[in-house]
Structure 1
Amino acid sequence: MLFGTDKTRMITADEALPGRDVGFEIADRHVVLGTPLTEPWPEGHEVLYVGMGCFWGAERIYWQTDGVYSTAVGYMGGWTTNPTYQETCTARTGHAETVQVVYDPAKVSLETLFARFWENHDPTTLHRQGGDIGTQYRSAIFTTTPEQQIAAEHSREKYQAALADKGFGKITTQIVPAEEAGDGVFYYAEDYHQGYLHKNPGGYCNHGFCQASYA
């Protein structure tokens, strides 16, 4: 296929669109939780980044999870600086639609966060979720601590066994430390994407219990 027509081909850094120096202005506070959308975070809180296809529904799953302090949507795992939504949807930035999850480890476990992740999308379809096709819809976990990385890999093994028991295929999820995902930067998406399904209750969402229980 001609370059740009195959959205399921992961591009290289040299092929990525150039982007821009300045990011988008977003609200100071989470539209649902009322907490800040940007750091600094409260002492003891940690950050996890997940890609589950369209980030609208994925973000709602996490802002509804007890122990999650703040969520935001953005672009991660690629090379284009401060990409737009339109650019990301061309698959020429290398980014995945990503949810930033800020949580209190004293109130919610990684097991719970990963259960939300695995159960609510299809991690066996490479670079797509249902009718959403492209590398920006890939399944991904970008970790920020060694403990998260170990727990994420363990959770993948656990969920793979659950999928196999029900006759489903192999997990394709990318699990890497955040700093190794493209240029290692989480770029906040445009403000209208933040808390989208709260602002637009009837908006598009393809998330929900998918194939097998994580427990």
Structure 2
Amino acid sequence: MSDPVWKSRIIPADQALPGRSTPVATAPTHFVTGRDIRVGCPAGMAEIYLGLGCFWGAERIFWETPGVWHTAVGYGGGTTPNPTYAETCTGATGHTELVRVVFDPDQLSLDQVLKLFWEGHDPTQGMRQGNDRGTQYRSAIYATNATQLAAARAAAERYQAELDAAGLGAITTEITEAGPFYYAEQEHQQYLARNPSGYCGIGGTGVVCPIGRPTTA
């Protein structure tokens, strides 16, 4: 299942790795906030799952943002239950690297979260992000309710117009309802807080997302 073909397209579910019935070990607490890494979403807050390429740098974007209450990294969008990092990197799980973002809508709007997402990476690259290649680096928004799903799709349309004007390609971001989220191993949680000089593959297009600006008639 390590054939490079699975690095360029999502593996069929019936050919994915079997995974396991129990979760892999992860960090007990968030390195920055000290909260339980698996903490639930409190009443009045919202959560969304975002894929921006390598989740080390992607997570830092959000834990450093005021209004974000909790983050964690993991895997989702694929088939294999409770995958490991090594398995996900083969392309044989179908998963992409994700950041779970729990935020307070009174301090940070959904549009602002999506703006951070669009501007924080290049959503036109398909099964890669920069030099990181494979299905596990694909761009993704996994929404937890219909409002998020509609907002993400509308934002994609508006951002595409800006990308077109800049001569860039079509958005390849997968936008769908969230499925199971599997927490990554302890060494990946808040990686850049524990390793400040560590690798960060995050880089945007330089094109501003128009969310927050009034639409023209």
Length-normalised TM-score, structure 1: 0.93
Q: Tell me by how many angstroms 1:25 deviates.
A: 2.8
Letter matched to residue 5 of structure 1? P
**Distance in 2 between the 1:31 and 1:132 partners?**
25
Letter matched to residue 159 of structure 2? Y
CA RMSD of aligned residues (A): 1.4
**Is the CA contact (8 Å cut-off) linking 1:73 and 1:99 kept in structure 2?**
yes
Find the partner of 1:214 among 189, 209, 214.
209
**Distance in 2 between the 1:83 and 1:151 partners?**
30
**Distance in 2 between the 1:126 and 1:45 partners?**
31
Determine the structure 1 residue equivalent to 2:133: 133
Asked if 1:81 corresponds to 2:76, the answer is: no
**Distance in 2 between the 1:117 and 1:9 partners?**
23
**Distance in 2 between the 1:11 and 1:4 partners?**
11
Q: Which aligned segments of 4 or more residues in structure 1 are displaced greater than 4 angstroms?
A: none
Determine the structure 2 residue equivalent to 1:149: 149
Determine the structure 1 residue equivalent to 2:215: none
Secondary structure at 2:113 match in 1: helix
Determine the structure 2 residue equivalent to 1:39: 39
Corresponding pairs, count:
209
Determine the structure 2 residue equivalent to 1:58: 58
Asked if 1:200 corresponds to 2:195, the answer is: yes
**Is the CA contact (8 Å cut-off) linking 2:27 and 2:185 kept in structure 1?**
no
**Is the CA contact (8 Å cut-off) linking 2:94 and 2:136 kept in structure 1?**
yes
**Is the CA contact (8 Å cut-off) linking 1:52 and 1:117 kept in structure 2?**
yes
Asked if 1:158 corresponds to 2:153, the answer is: no
CA spacing shift, 1:158–1:86, aligned 2, 3 Å: same
CA spacing shift, 1:206–1:168, aligned 2, 3 Å: same
**Is the CA contact (8 Å cut-off) linking 2:24 and 2:83 kept in structure 1?**
no
Length-normalised TM-score, structure 2: 0.92
CA spacing shift, 1:63–1:3, aligned 2, 3 Å: closer
**Distance in 1 between the 2:181 and 2:188 partners?**
15
CA spacing shift, 1:94–1:43, aligned 2, 3 Å: same
**Distance in 2 between the 1:207 and 1:15 partners?**
30
**Distance in 2 between the 1:3 and 1:66 partners?**
40
**Distance in 2 between the 1:45 and 1:88 partners?**
30
Query: Deviation digits for residues 56-109 of structure 1, max 9, x if unmatched?
Result: 000000001111110000000011111010100000000000000011111110
**Distance in 2 between the 1:151 and 1:35 partners?**
29
Secondary structure at 1:187 match in 2: strand
Q: Tell me by how many angstroms 1:206 deviates.
A: 1.6
Query: Percent identity of the aligned residues?
Result: 52
**Distance in 2 between the 1:161 and 1:35 partners?**
40
